[in-house]
Homo-oligomer: A and B are copies of this chain.
Amino acid sequence: MGNNVTMRDIAERLGVSSVTISKALNDKEGVSDELKQKIKQVAEEMGYRFNTLAKSMKEGQAYNIGVIIPERFTGEIQSFYLKFYQHIARVLDHHQYSGILHILSADDEEQKVLPRIYYDKKVDGLLILGQISNDYIQLLNGIEIPIAYIDFYNEDAEADTVITDNFYGMYEMTNYLIKNGHQEIGFVGNIYSTSSIQDRFLGFYKSLLEHKLPLKQEYIIKDRDERGKYIEIELPDKIPTAFVCNCDQIAYNLITKLQSLGYRVPEDCSVVGFDNDIYAQIAEPKLTTVEVDIEEMSRTAVQLMISKLKSKKRKWEQVSVKGKLVLRDSVKKITDELQTTD
């Protein structure tokens, strides 16, 4: 239970040198099995705790990875990235690393202030969750430690990237709607605001193309301005039979709006989302949506980071991880009706 037991203390107790203790505790060559067992046992008895700081200083590695989440993604209700963090932290743990979560405030992002953990050399690398401003990316490009972006892609970023397969996810989702008889389908999302939304839109469009359905401008509806701030959704004069929303939160808002105008979902209009986050569950009806594979993405991102730490030479990689459809109650099969109304 000693308050500050060091390897030297163990060494003195056993009449050996601290080098031997170090080797034994790290399972390295050069200590007899017998001695090693003895050392481990005594270390345990004395309540020895390894001093990572000393090792870190020797090696110039902190064995910590910073995980950055822009503040705007951590609002009252939005907990998607926080959930992401949990998985990342768990994977890091398996690799003997710790995660240090840092919420990047809007001010710091604006004024291009890096988190203190960077200046303090407390982290060996940075994992960035979600979209971040171009200026900030430039700032990050200039720093000395490896970076990986998760769930956000930017051409200019000099870093590894792990994104969800937005394109195919929305493509499959739209295929699913069409298979259920929908031909008039709207897309809700500002396609100039983020690359994820853009890709999701393109997946949607690809499905329309393949089915020879026209892309109608009045069915492409803005949900936010270019800076990401949500705006009031303006519905078209004629409501399509289904809306594809770029995320669950927007789908949730849309459903509320449709219902307040007297439309029933999915009877009068189907609505689908993307992400399978909390909004998909609290929506009434529950949302049919695309689930992001957080676990797989976390695993991939951590592996990229650690391999980068081991060999700085490696080129940047871009990995996209497939999601999967989650079918719930917000889509109506309208094949029959269509045949008669056509």
Q: How many A residues, CB 8 Å from partner?
A: 47
Chain A positions 49-67 with a Cβ under 8 Å from a chain B Cβ = 49-54, 56-57, 60, 62-64
Which residues from B are CB-within-8-Å of A93? 116
Bound complex: CA of A324 vs CA of B262, how far in Å? 37
- Please tell me if the beta carbons of B49 and A53 are within 8 angstroms of each other in the complex: no
Bound complex: CA of A52 vs CA of B117, how far in Å? 9
Report copies per complex.
2
Bound complex: CA of A96 vs CA of B120, how far in Å? 10
Is A224 interfacial (CB 8 A cutoff)?
A: no
Partner of A77, one of B50, B62, B85, B278: B278
Which residues from B are CB-within-8-Å of A53? 53, 56-57, 62, 121-122
List the B residue with the shortest CB-CB distance to A281.
B76
Show 30 A/B contacts (Cβ-Cβ < 8 Å), sorted by A.
A1-B142, A49-B118, A49-B120, A49-B121, A50-B121, A52-B121, A52-B122, A53-B57, A53-B62, A53-B122, A54-B57, A74-B82, A74-B83, A76-B79, A76-B83, A77-B282, A79-B82, A85-B101, A86-B103, A89-B102, A90-B103, A90-B105, A93-B116, A96-B116, A98-B100, A98-B117, A98-B120, A98-B122, A99-B100, A101-B101
